[in-house]
Structure 1
Amino acid sequence: MKAKILHESAGRIRVRVQQKHMTLEQADLLEYYFRKQDGIKDVQVFDRTCDVIVRYTCARCEVIAALGAFSYAKAKALDVVPDHTGRALSREYEDKIAASVLRRILCKTVVPAPMRAAIALIKSVKYIRHGISSLAQGKLEVSVLDATAITVSMLRGDFDTASSVMFLLGIGETLEEWTHKKSVDDLARTMSLHVDKVWCLVDGQEVLTPVNEVQVGDEIVVRTSNMIPLDGKVVSGEMTVNQASITGESLPVRKDAGTYVYAGTVVEEGTCVVRVDKNSGSGRYDRIVKMIEESEKLKSMSEDKASHLADKLVPYSLGGTALVYMLTGNATRALSVLMVDFSCALKLAMPLSVLSAMRESSTHHISVKGGRFLEAVSAADTIVLDKTGTLTHASPKVAKIIPFGGNNENEMLRLAACLEEHYPHSMAKAVVQEAAKRDLKHEECHSEIEYVVAHGISSMVDKQRVLIGSYHFIFEDEKCTLREEDKALFDSIPEEYSPLYLAISGELAAVICVEDPLREEAADVIDQLHALGIQNVVMMTGDNSKTANAVAAKLGIDTYYAEVLPEHKAEFVKAEHEAGRTVIMVGDGVNDSPALSESDAGIAISDGAAIAREIADITISADDLYTLVTLKKISDALMQRIDRNYRFIIGFNLGLILLGVAGVLQPATSAMLHNLSTLGISLDSMTNLISE
């Protein structure tokens, strides 16, 4: 590709692609191709001017070489562009606003006054119809106020004022619709499946297969905590499925042979074989968009409050207009009250603030399912953190394997990996990765796997019952035993490791010691959360008390609970609610799901269990915990903006009304200032809440 360098500074270069016109598709190909390149921090492509801004951390020569080697055909073959990028949506609304402004300018400068009056009369029909419809339903809403102001202006022959009011209302509606659709579009894309591989049945054997290679008619196996990656019909097995994200049902649904399952839903319990009848991605995006738009979760309490307050103020505006006319007999002063209301700005600015905050969150790799959850994060005084995979790295490593009863170390690891690879927990991944590192092949030799939440896994291998899991599961629940001669070795296992216990036929066969290193940023994140108003940082873990105490002391945790089960976490959150506290829960595993559901705002780690992400209200990046701090800052800034908007709207518009009644401002001037302030505060509400 040929390009001319326009400007560059340290880590940033702006080039102009040498072509006459760039399509939206080409702009997307160029942007997403470079986003995939190593050393590229950010890319912006401006299709109208054919300009590209690249921010990079690699060597400059590598960027120049990548630009020179780029071709649209190559990028298209790599399939780097997602189905929905948002570029076409933004262009649609940019064009709408530009066209509206251009029409307005031409109308004011070219069209004769009589024709402008006729155009205003035609445009007013829509607003008057909405106002009459509202009255017919027995409601005094903002549409009545808009219709009254427009009608009175035209009856007085002030068609320019009526036209200005309708123009600004139209711009406001377009901006609101654009911001809403953009936020929904961003949110829908962040809720993509992120399922790369599935277990596919081939000649009776389970084979791990890339999801994009699965064809219609293939059979896949889904188990407890797995996300169902493709639409299809259950062939065999039985399970309960959480499908709230698709159907809105709050309770899990039982699925067995002959029933239908949807991509994006999560298996809460059980195992099934599903025959695929739709390729990857078919209809998924559209269903998510529909779910978000219909979900009451999208409405925050502030939006509800603003909407209700706006409607409640309408009768006062109408009453004030009538009262001023009765006292002064001056229609101009009375119209000044009618031309200014609090409702437009309240109803427009608050939803825009919330939706823009959700959109801004997505740029920081934070997916928020509704405005009310941002409010909950801002109001929270207690945060509950799971340890493994949350305060610790999501990719722990196997430190050592201690075999018992004369078993072979590698054979025990091979067996453990065979069972653990079916479940997306961080410790299970560590076992599978260690087996891969040692080049240990593990064919499917077990029978159906049973997953016991927060305890472990049970299956049959060569007619022997094999168990892997926690100490509580192996020794207390399953009553497994340890040979007398192995007790000294067992007692010598270092406390700093998180152990997984493997038992065969009721006897301990091996202990897999997993290193669970703390995230480097965890202590600083907790300090910052304290500084941002979180009073009680709580850690809950299934580890023993000694390990939990050491971690809590190292990180500055206020309170910790050790050896807890899923129900204990949920009970704690419930108890905090009863004590009048607002609680947010952060976790990544199946065992965190009850507490995530119980909390005011449940936050899941993006690479954790699918069911945790499904149940959670917010999903944050797994890269580092600083996104928690960013989320808190955005939430606090949102509430401050909403409070500031309330004060400005009430103060400014009250001032306009008083100046109008006093005769200082004419109705047309009041209407212009009111609508300009509404537009201004709406545009301000669309800006980012925090600096990069």
Structure 2
Amino acid sequence: MKFQIKHEIKGRIRFHVVQKKQMTCEQADILLYYLENMEGVESVKVYDRTADAVVCYKADADGLVRRNIIKGIQKFVYEKVEVPDGIIENSGRNLNREFQEKMIGQIMAHYARKILLPAPFRAVYTGVKSIGYIWKGIRTLAQRKLEVPVLDATAIGVSILRGNYDTASSVMFLLGIGELLEDWTHKKSVGDLARIMSLNVEKVWLKTEDGEVLVPYSQIKQGDSIVVHMGNVIPFDGIVSAGEAMVNQASLTGESMPVRKADQASVYAGTVVEEGEITVEVKAVGGSGRYDKIVTMIEDSQKLKSGLEGKAEHLADKLVPYTLAGTGLVYLATRNATKAIAVLMVDFSCALKLAMPISVLSAIREASQHNVTVKGGKYMEAVAEADTIVFDKTGTLTKAEPTVAEVVPFGENNADEMLRMAACMEEHFPHSMAKAVVDAALKKELDHEEMHSKVQYVVAHGISTTIEGKTAIIGSYHFVFEDENCKIPEGEEAKFEALPEEYSHLYLALEGTLAAVICIEDPLREEAADVIKKLKKAGITKVVMMTGDSERTAAAIAKRVGVDEYYSEVLPEDKANFITKEKEKGRKVMMIGDGINDSPALSAASVGIAVSDGAEIAKEIADITISAESLYEVVVLKQLSNALLKRIHTNYRSIVAINSSLIVLGVAGVLAPATSALCHNVSTLLISLKSMKNLLP
């Protein structure tokens, strides 16, 4: 590809793509995807109208990253880049261009009519256009409602009856621009949210004649049979051909209660198996259908509306009768139609209805820029009001990538063979500990092909199966020794007591006898202590840590991170019960977790937050998802939510102050009705545009 470097500083290059035709939206998205996936690239912006791209990268001393980026751009060819399904179709770039062109068209057409059309023609055009607004107001009245359309229709109708065609035209123009801005912001925010929520599956269990094989998502074709285990997402639309499961369909229906799925039942991409295991015959592949379903679910549900947003809409409609009554009273008191219309031209309702939703949707969009997915405005309000936060330990306060430090075999077992066996069992279940075992086996090139029969997962305890005719279980101390009554091999009690205390332990038993202990190194996140300090500064008064680990491990972690309370050796129901009791005391509780065992607590909390590389069911149930890269995202979320509430309250005060002033000036005769209407609509637009700005610097 031919290109010119237009500007460059260390760590940032702006270049222009040299091509004969204007860059299309599709080409811009392909280039964006290509550049974002280059090694060392931190962020990319592609401007399709100017065919420019800005690349920010990690600058190194010898300039190797820069040279590789330049070489990559030189080799770039649109047709040779394989972009995953749904990325181009749902990028939102076409939407932005469409609304930009609509807005420019409306503004140019309005002022062209004002300058070029003679007054009589303008009057006819304004009269014809007003019919739509007046008819909408009449329909609202026919439904026995006094809402904003009635006010708009009255203001426009009275202006036309008095011959103030310019005033009516200005009011309709500004209302049209406001509606366009609201529609644009809403669709963009919903689109951004849906893209983040869209399915992101890398590998799938394919059922073959030889058993289950883990294959890339892209290799699955229509008609293939895939196996979905407990806690995993269903990656494709299909029909259940074997097995039975309880499936959580909240991502598509908004209903959190799981639905039973058995033979010949239809299942949908993005839903999650909460209990059981099913084999699914794939009926549709590709991501666009999943995206469309999410958009529909978001737009049809009330999840996007915060309590304050709903109150604003309700208040806006309640104010309409008072505005109409105020208009009548001013006319009766002054017998001056101009002063009465000044009240009619200025109302609080449209500003409230426009600015509040834009504030909420813009905040959701801004959160996504910080790798935080918020499923609705009411959850940001809940975060702002939260005074208590509960952390799961593993994969949350500790790093999301624990590693196997040591495998301690018991009896005559071999360490590598025990690790291979553990990986074979653990690879079916999405948890950071399980992933550590599987990764350790891969590093040692231990082939852990399917040897076992059906795997049973016991939440917060462990896994049981049969391998080569022997009962095999792996999991917590409580599960292995207390629930399953396994024994330590005779004469190896001292070896068991000498296990390293600094590690978390997974116990593997065969035929009721301990076969190995897998020591997991689960280092604390470097930022954990600082995050807790910042959360307290942002308004959190109580920080709690809950873990299934031993008292010794929990106490050490709690002391290092500075939590107010901690609880060890807890079960999923213990976490949920604790949160319920806190809420009964009047506290607003946030819960952060990543595992299947965190799901009940995430549901019980005022707002549940899941770590993105945790169990699919945790992400499904959670109201908010953060990336696994840094806990600072929780602080950003709290700061954003606090700032959103502050902005909403500021908007309330601004709307009341500005519109009250305009009404007083209109009644006093200082401002003409047309000027009042112009000032009112301009102030509404300015408040709305300000609401679209980022909340954080």
TM-score bucket (shorter structure): over 0.9
Mapped pair 1:13 → 2:13 = yes
Structure 1 distance, partners of 2:204, 2:82, is 25
Structure 1 distance, partners of 2:3, 2:432, is 45
Cα deviation, 1:455-493, whole Å, max 9, x if unaligned, reads 000101111110000000001111111123010000001
Partner of 1:262: 268
Structure 2 distance, partners of 1:178, 1:602, is 29
Partner of 1:24: 25
Partner of 1:35: 36
More divergent stretch after superposition (16-25 vs 97-106): 16-25
Is the CA contact 2:229–2:273 (under 8 Å) kept in the aligned structure 1? yes
Matched to 1:372, the amino acid is: K
Is the CA contact 2:461–2:478 (under 8 Å) kept in the aligned structure 1? yes
Cα deviation, 1:205-255, whole Å, max 9, x if unaligned, reads 111111111111111111110111111111111111101212333311111
SS at match of 1:533: coil
Q: TM-score, normalised by structure 1?
A: 0.98
Cα displacement (A) at 1:168: 0.6
Is the CA contact 1:211–1:280 (under 8 Å) kept in the aligned structure 2? no
SS at match of 2:235: coil
SS at match of 2:680: helix
Match among 679, 685, 689 for residue 679 of structure 1:
685
Matched to 2:631, the amino acid is: L
Report the identity percentage: 60
More divergent stretch after superposition (600-609 vs 34-43): 34-43
SS at match of 2:452: coil
Q: Equivalences for 1:568-579 in 2 at 5 Å? A: 568-579=574-585
Partner of 1:531: 537
More divergent stretch after superposition (35-44 vs 649-658): 35-44
Change (3 A) 1:343 1:77: closer
Mapped pair 1:385 → 2:408 = no
Partner of 1:167: 173
Is the CA contact 2:26–2:88 (under 8 Å) kept in the aligned structure 1? no
Structure 1 distance, partners of 2:82, 2:239, is 33
Structure 2 distance, partners of 1:398, 1:7, is 47
Mapped pair 1:4 → 2:4 = yes
Matched to 1:28, the amino acid is: D
Cα displacement (A) at 1:8: 2.0
Structure 1 distance, partners of 2:479, 2:73, is 56
Partner of 2:490: 484
Cα deviation, 1:3-43, whole Å, max 9, x if unaligned, reads 22222223222222222411111111111110111121221
SS at match of 1:441: coil
Matched to 1:460, the amino acid is: T
SS at match of 1:297: coil
Partner of 1:45: 46
SS at match of 1:298: coil
SS at match of 2:204: strand
Partner of 1:690: 696
Mapped pair 1:314 → 2:315 = no
Is the CA contact 1:33–1:80 (under 8 Å) kept in the aligned structure 2? no
Matched to 1:2, the amino acid is: K
Change (3 A) 1:22 1:388: same
Cα displacement (A) at 1:673: 0.3
Partner of 2:561: 555
Q: Equivalences for 1:629-644 in 2 at 5 Å? A: 629-644=635-650
Cα deviation, 1:553-601, whole Å, max 9, x if unaligned, reads 1001111111110001111111111000111110000000011111111
Mapped pair 1:125 → 2:131 = yes
Mapped pair 1:515 → 2:521 = yes
SS at match of 1:465: strand
SS at match of 1:296: coil
Partner of 1:543: 549
Matched to 1:4, the amino acid is: Q
Structure 2 distance, partners of 1:593, 1:403, is 33
Partner of 2:667: 661
Q: Report the aligned-residue RMSD.
A: 1.2
Partner of 2:382: 376
Structure 2 distance, partners of 1:479, 1:83, is 55
Structure 1 distance, partners of 2:5, 2:350, is 46
Structure 2 distance, partners of 1:16, 1:217, is 45
Matched to 1:266, the amino acid is: V
Structure 1 distance, partners of 2:14, 2:222, is 45
Cα deviation, 1:92-131, whole Å, max 9, x if unaligned, reads 1111101101101101110111111111111111111111
Mapped pair 1:500 → 2:506 = yes
More divergent stretch after superposition (205-214 vs 20-29): 20-29
Cα displacement (A) at 1:454: 0.4
Cα displacement (A) at 1:61: 3.0
Match among 428, 436, 460 for residue 434 of structure 2:
428
Match among 94, 106, 121 for residue 112 of structure 2:
106
Change (3 A) 1:282 1:311: closer
Unaligned stretches of 5+ residues in structure 1 = none
Q: TM-score, normalised by structure 2?
A: 0.98
Match among 255, 280, 291 for residue 285 of structure 1:
291
Structure 2 distance, partners of 1:144, 1:418, is 67
Structure 1 distance, partners of 2:393, 2:250, is 27
Is the CA contact 2:309–2:357 (under 8 Å) kept in the aligned structure 1? yes
Cα displacement (A) at 1:63: 3.1
Mapped pair 1:622 → 2:623 = no
Mapped pair 1:341 → 2:347 = yes
Is the CA contact 1:352–1:686 (under 8 Å) kept in the aligned structure 2? yes
Cα deviation, 1:287-319, whole Å, max 9, x if unaligned, reads 111111111111111110100110111111111
Structure 2 distance, partners of 1:586, 1:83, is 33
Cα displacement (A) at 1:77: 7.0
Partner of 1:209: 215
Q: Equivalences for 1:170-185 in 2 at 5 Å? A: 170-185=176-191
More divergent stretch after superposition (51-60 vs 382-391): 51-60
SS at match of 2:479: helix
Structure 1 distance, partners of 2:44, 2:333, is 62
Partner of 1:198: 204
Structure 1 distance, partners of 2:648, 2:378, is 13
More divergent stretch after superposition (37-46 vs 339-348): 37-46
Structure 1 distance, partners of 2:572, 2:315, is 41
Structure 2 distance, partners of 1:256, 1:68, is 53
Matched to 2:516, the amino acid is: A
More divergent stretch after superposition (520-529 vs 248-257): 248-257
Is the CA contact 2:305–2:376 (under 8 Å) kept in the aligned structure 1? yes
Partner of 1:402: 408
Is the CA contact 1:481–1:507 (under 8 Å) kept in the aligned structure 2? yes
Partner of 1:442: 448
Cα displacement (A) at 1:79: 7.7
Is the CA contact 2:391–2:397 (under 8 Å) kept in the aligned structure 1? yes
Matched to 2:270, the amino acid is: G
Partner of 2:279: 273
SS at match of 1:466: strand
Is the CA contact 1:32–1:80 (under 8 Å) kept in the aligned structure 2? no
Structure 2 distance, partners of 1:684, 1:388, is 41
Cα deviation, 1:610-631, whole Å, max 9, x if unaligned, reads 0000000000011111111111
Is the CA contact 2:148–2:316 (under 8 Å) kept in the aligned structure 1? yes
Match among 582, 586, 603 for residue 580 of structure 1:
586
Match among 88, 91, 116 for residue 94 of structure 2:
88
Cα displacement (A) at 1:66: 2.5
Structure 2 distance, partners of 1:168, 1:199, is 55
